[in-house]
Structure 1
Amino acid sequence: MADENVKHQLAAIVYADVSGYSRLTQADEIGTHRQLSASLDLIADRIRNSGGTVVHYAGDAVLARFQSVVAATHCAIGIQNAIRALCAEVEEEKRLLFRIGINLGEVIVDRNDIYGDGVNVAARLESLADAGGICISESVFQQVQGKLDARFDDIGGQKLKNIEHPVHAYRVVSRPDASNRGEDSSDELLRLSRFSRIAGPETKEAVADVFTRSEPPSIMILPFRNLGGNADQDALVDGFRLAIQSSLVKLPGMFLINAPAVERYRHQDVTAIRAGNEVGVRYVLDGAVQMAGDRVRVTIQLTDAPAAQIIWAERYDRVVDDIFEIQDEITTEVAVALDVKLIADESSLVWWDNLPSRKARELVLRGLSHMYMGNETGNAVARKIFEELTQMLPDSPQALALSAYTNWLSVMRGWSKEPAQAMERATALAEKAIERGDPDGFGRIVLASVRLLQRRHDEALALSESATSVRISCPLAKAVYSNVLHFNGHHVQAIENAKRAVKHSRIYPPWMAAVLAASYRDSGQIASSITVANECLRIDPQSLDGHVLLCTDYSLSSSAHEAQRVAREILRTHPSFRISAYLETQPYKDSKTLENIAGALRAAGLPE
């Protein structure tokens, strides 16, 4: 008689194990462990974002379960592609590759673990897979055939150890266009994978703790297609997409990928399913806009990428003036579809009320489109557009905040020819925006950074914390908050927020990595700081912050030779570098931290 206390479930079971792990550790124990740690971070992140659950780790093996066998197999294909990219820089004989087995069967669930023949079959199938490959059972094949961009090689009935009956098995072979997407795409995938090295947990136990608890749904918005045939409308269409992003960024309980991380898909004919699995998110929002005269048609759909299914789609046929109402309707529908709790007052999503004319709203859309290009030219165009908007609506908090932000960014990125005047304008505009409510938080981001440079630490902390409460999924807000926390001496909180910023951003700028590295260093975690400082320099080999961080790290860890080597590189790339001038740019609240940095730089041989 069955035990009524035993819980049975039908599940898709994924078992992944390293091929030749003992040989690899004997050849290079430290290098292999580093590869394993990065790979486990990547695997856990992929499983979580594909709707699965990491059940447990056993040495170099991972056991996971899914409700959807299609999602499980799609996730496994994505894992193998990502790991190949992750270890592309490693010598071939030292590469750490996984074999994966997948089975669909009944399991026993007990104390957050799973047991039974269903699990055993998945583990035995793993041994039949090639290194870097996947092997599935007949039960899996029957569910996924025709639903995935892959072919399946039938290897017949297999006698598996400790399994009574033979199991019919198949090896999964990704199609060339699914695994070989060109050099640029491979580089991008490697970049996306690297974020787990600097933003992920440091230990296997921490990985298990982080990735087995409930996580918010992850979503990205692909660039919308302009079907009107008029290139002049491109900025309006793109601004419409970014306006939806600006609304979603305020919602709690959502992991929203930053807009620049999806720019590579702008001119690609790519499905939402493929894009979502490449970036490692659960949901993808994509759409198209067609304008003709005073009419606009918007088609939109929300896709569950790992499950390969559309969960919501809608078409809107309206007059052009209603496009801003459509934006708010889409935001609400996405929130409902993802079971995300809306902010207390749904009307706060509708921030167009302060932009009463069609001309003003079009200026916002065009300005956002240029601003999110993330380059000097785009920011300059956006700044002029927002200046025109503030002249039209001098009391609009959105206009003031966006104008403040573009002026501030021109100074922070070194684009402004008159930085003092631009920062003065940014400060005045941000203050006015905050006086009028600053509904999008841009004003608080700008003023927090200004107050930090002015050494008004408590004000900077309050402003940056407030900005994150409004811009909940915004990597910029989290990174600025992390930076303020770091200079205020709250290093643990700074590390947590910097990691979140990197994860939301996916394609992160070097200064975000520098904030995380500095927080690690000043909290005494020198090894982690060295890893992240090197990542900062990989993104920008000329980064002064990256070199200074690495120099102080080596000096503080008594690696004098390495510290002196980096010091020589600093003087080669920045010959006018002086310790005293550098310290002036570091607004620490605690002077002792500055003294420690100065001492480390002196010990490396850098001039006063």
Structure 2
Amino acid sequence: MGTNGFKRKLAAILSADVAGYSRLMGEDEAATVRTLEAYRRVISDLIQQHRGRVVDSPGDNILAEFVSVVDAVQCAVSAQKEIQARNTELPENRRMQFRIGINLGDVIEEGDRIYGDGVNIAARLESLADPGGICVSKTAFEHIESKLPLGYEYLGEQTVKNIAKPICAYKVQMERRVTVKDHAEAKSKGGTWHRPLIVALAGVLLITVVAAALWQFDFLPVRTRVDDTTVQRMAFPLPDKPSIAVMPFVNMTGEQSQDFFCDGLSESLIAALSRVPELFVIGRDSTFIYKGRAAPMRQVSEDLGVRYVLEGSVQRAGDRVRVTAQLIDALKGHHLWSERYDRNVKDIFELQDEISMKILTELRVKITEGEAARILPKGTNNLQAYLKVLEGEWYRNQNNKEANNVAKRLYHEAVELDPAYAMAYVGLARAQGFDVWLGASKSPKETLADAMKSARKAIELDDSSAEANAAASAVLVAMREHEKAIEVGERAVTLNPNSANALYTLGMVLNYAGRSEEALPLLRQAVRFNPVVPKYYHHFSTACRETGRYEEGIAALKTSLGRVPDDVLANVVLATLYVYAGREDEARAAVAEVRRIDPGFSLERFARGSPWKEGPKRDRFIDALRRAGLK
């Protein structure tokens, strides 16, 4: 504590100025003032939404205090994107741009006011920023580098007015990650939720006429600029009902250990929405290929063939969780809805339901009370059991023996916490069955029996669960109980015709039972719902092979191999298709790829492990592989 009520504290300061402010005032003082006030309201609202507090707003500046550096940068990015989006609706000579500088440093505090080099450096950083851009100091950069999915360009040491030593500056790239240039990457300092920081904002006003623009400032929260797309550029025909892709929620906590929580929220929303017959929902595997990538919404829409995209972020600290979500109409290039939620973690179930129902409302999908109960099943009221299952799913999706063992342990722990939690048993059944596929089981017969026991328990607890029935069907076919597997698989598809996994499982089972004509339309649907999953293409192309559609099957596998070139099973199926089509030279080339990827591949072991029903169809494709050169 200093004299006269002064005290010092570490603070992050954000400063921005208004380019051309004097000129604009000279051209139309009244209009400029009105616009400035409108933008102040927008920025003030954003500051409040990002846990900030406006300290002062003299002239064309705003001074505010935040809880963390992450919040400050998020606020700055949101402000820039909001202004950018609104500018697209205005003539060029009426557009507004900001330059923003952010610093974390020492300041002097007197009452509600702040002084010192911390503030001065932020003001100097602002002058280094481009119009519409953000510039941060090294101290601020070290707190956000690993926490925000942004790019950063190192600008070097900058000598600035009234600051004794040069300051290290970084330009923030708001749309994509950029490798830091000519500077060793800073190491994360850990969580920053509780570090106070100060933000000074000022607008760059380039607007001379404002009356037509003021109405735009009334809707909040921030919405990201979205580029237009067209149906003609889509990889798949647009469905005849509302279609949506739920993107993996961005982990803003900065801790990889919280990935499972963020992924789980996305997966829960996908599962809930897929239960609505009036919606078309892309499967989890296809949206998660964008995880960690700043893909434009236009690209997502075109790649997956959907009109709507949901994106968001999650920040968790202790018992508190902050979730942001926004629903985008990528076809028209605008946002339908966006919201920020600050809740206790124990309220995560209600939050998931709230977001799901809001999406249905925005897409004008009406459901009854009974349908809502089916779409939004609680599953468990035990938060810890729910979190164990989320974490188990994250580990199981790593697709290796070690992670699968961790997943099994987590599912068992969830069962102990809530013995009536069906999804814990579903996860356990899948992981146990996966052990056999990974070759991690010493006794596949016993492991499959355990998996069947888990799947049956899941159905006993919740016989309306498509996931439980699909898991049971997959285990039954591995046990070569084809007719039972078909019966249970058909029930899974009946319970949820929008489930890519249920459709795929039944199609796979029908293939193995020698009923590929029935399998083909189901697998075609599964690929449309989840167009990037290799195993879907394996079985779709197998169904094409068995029904004489050789060229279609070959084309599908080439698409899959374009994404995953080292896929052994894709090359195995491709070799059989080439043989059936009379293209044996190409079949031998596919076999050469099999040997390159897996030098120890054994046709005998492959045939023994395949759950195909005994008969001429099985014998024919095994013989085709021999003719292509596999032994």
Q: Please indicate, yes or no, whether the TM-score normalized by the shorter chain is above 0.5.
A: yes
Distance 1:563 1:228 in 2: 49
Tell me the residue number matched to 1:554.
578
- The AA in structure 2 aligned to 1:146 is T
Paired residue secondary structure (1:223):
coil
TM-aligned CA distance change 1:463 to 1:231, over 3 Å: same
Matched, 1:592 2:616: yes
Tell me the residue number matched to 1:401.
426
Tell me the residue number matched to 2:244.
219
Tell me the residue number matched to 1:53.
none
Contact 2:382 2:418 in 1 (8 A): no
TM-aligned CA distance change 1:597 to 1:178, over 3 Å: farther
Contact 1:273 1:303 in 2 (8 A): no
461-470 or 220-229, larger mean C-alpha shift: 220-229
- The AA in structure 2 aligned to 1:524 is G
Contact 2:177 2:294 in 1 (8 A): no
Contact 1:397 1:438 in 2 (8 A): no
- The AA in structure 1 aligned to 2:377 is W
Matched, 1:387 2:412: yes
For residues 18-29 of structure 1, the aligned pairs below 5 Å read none
Matched, 1:345 2:371: yes
User: Which of these residues, 421, 424, 433, is aligned with residue 458 of structure 2?
Assistant: 433
Paired residue secondary structure (2:285):
helix
TM-aligned CA distance change 1:252 to 1:371, over 3 Å: farther
TM-aligned CA distance change 1:573 to 1:262, over 3 Å: closer
Q: Percent identical across equivalent pairs?
A: 29
TM-aligned CA distance change 1:479 to 1:324, over 3 Å: same
Contact 2:425 2:458 in 1 (8 A): yes
Tell me the residue number matched to 1:466.
491
How far is 1:408 from its partner?
A: 1.9
Tell me the residue number matched to 2:88.
146
- The AA in structure 2 aligned to 1:347 is A
Distance 2:627 2:233 in 1: 32
Contact 2:520 2:540 in 1 (8 A): yes
Deviations 1:473-528 (A, max 9, x none): 3332222211112223332332222222222223222x221111111111112222
Contact 1:260 1:373 in 2 (8 A): no
Matched, 1:285 2:310: yes
Contact 1:276 1:284 in 2 (8 A): yes
TM-aligned CA distance change 1:265 to 1:526, over 3 Å: closer
User: Which of these residues, 451, 455, 469, is aligned with residue 444 of structure 1?
Assistant: 469
How far is 1:182 from its partner?
A: 9.8
Distance 1:290 1:573 in 2: 40
Deviations 1:67-120 (A, max 9, x none): xxxxxxxxxxxxxxxxxxxxxxxxxxxxxxxxxxxxxxxxxxxxxxxxxxxxxx
- The AA in structure 1 aligned to 2:88 is G
User: Which of these residues, 242, 252, 260, is aligned with residue 277 of structure 2?
Assistant: 252
Paired residue secondary structure (2:579):
helix
Q: How many residues of Structure 1 are paired with residues of Structure 2 in the alignment?
A: 413
Paired residue secondary structure (2:356):
helix
Distance 2:586 2:255 in 1: 57
Distance 1:492 1:546 in 2: 20
Deviations 1:21-64 (A, max 9, x none): xxxxxxxxxxxxxxxxxxxxxxxxxxxxxxxxxxxxxxxxxxxx
Tell me the residue number matched to 2:264.
239
Deviations 1:95-148 (A, max 9, x none): xxxxxxxxxxxxxxxxxxxxxxxxxxxxxxxxxxxxxxxxxxxxxxxxx99369
Gaps of 5+ in 1: 1-143, 151-176, 184-192, 201-210
Tell me the residue number matched to 1:479.
504
TM-aligned CA distance change 1:315 to 1:428, over 3 Å: same
- The AA in structure 1 aligned to 2:525 is R
How far is 1:359 from its partner?
A: 2.0
397-406 or 317-326, larger mean C-alpha shift: 317-326
Distance 1:570 1:591 in 2: 25
Distance 1:249 1:393 in 2: 25
Paired residue secondary structure (1:220):
strand
Matched, 1:501 2:535: no
Tell me the residue number matched to 1:525.
549
TM-aligned CA distance change 1:182 to 1:315, over 3 Å: closer
Paired residue secondary structure (1:473):
coil
Deviations 1:440-471 (A, max 9, x none): 43332222122223332221112122223344
Distance 1:407 1:195 in 2: 38
Contact 1:521 1:553 in 2 (8 A): yes
Contact 1:226 1:289 in 2 (8 A): yes
- The AA in structure 2 aligned to 1:248 is L
Distance 1:268 1:537 in 2: 21
TM-aligned CA distance change 1:530 to 1:392, over 3 Å: same
Tell me the residue number matched to 1:324.
349
Distance 1:358 1:281 in 2: 33
TM-aligned CA distance change 1:550 to 1:486, over 3 Å: same
Root mean square deviation of aligned Cα:
4.0
- The AA in structure 2 aligned to 1:381 is V
Contact 1:195 1:506 in 2 (8 A): no
Contact 1:273 1:304 in 2 (8 A): no
How far is 1:602 from its partner?
A: 4.8
TM-aligned CA distance change 1:253 to 1:229, over 3 Å: same
Paired residue secondary structure (1:351):
coil
TM-aligned CA distance change 1:235 to 1:574, over 3 Å: closer
How far is 1:430 from its partner?
A: 0.8
User: Which of these residues, 336, 339, 342, is aligned with residue 314 of structure 1?
Assistant: 339
Gaps of 5+ in 2: 1-85, 93-172, 180-231
How far is 1:323 from its partner?
A: 1.9
Tell me the residue number matched to 1:360.
385
Distance 1:586 1:364 in 2: 30
Contact 2:396 2:403 in 1 (8 A): yes
TM-aligned CA distance change 1:306 to 1:393, over 3 Å: same
Tell me the residue number matched to 1:454.
479
How far is 1:413 from its partner?
A: 4.1
For residues 67-146 of structure 1, the aligned pairs below 5 Å read 146=88
- The AA in structure 1 aligned to 2:488 is L
Distance 1:180 1:225 in 2: 13
Larger Rg: 2
How far is 1:283 from its partner?
A: 0.9
Contact 2:176 2:294 in 1 (8 A): no
Contact 1:460 1:484 in 2 (8 A): yes
How far is 1:434 from its partner?
A: 1.4
Distance 1:516 1:182 in 2: 39
For residues 163-242 of structure 1, the aligned pairs below 5 Å read 211=237, 215-227=240-252, 233-242=258-267
Distance 1:304 1:514 in 2: 33
Distance 2:504 2:365 in 1: 24
Distance 2:301 2:574 in 1: 35
543-552 or 332-341, larger mean C-alpha shift: 543-552
Distance 1:497 1:595 in 2: 24
Distance 1:229 1:180 in 2: 17
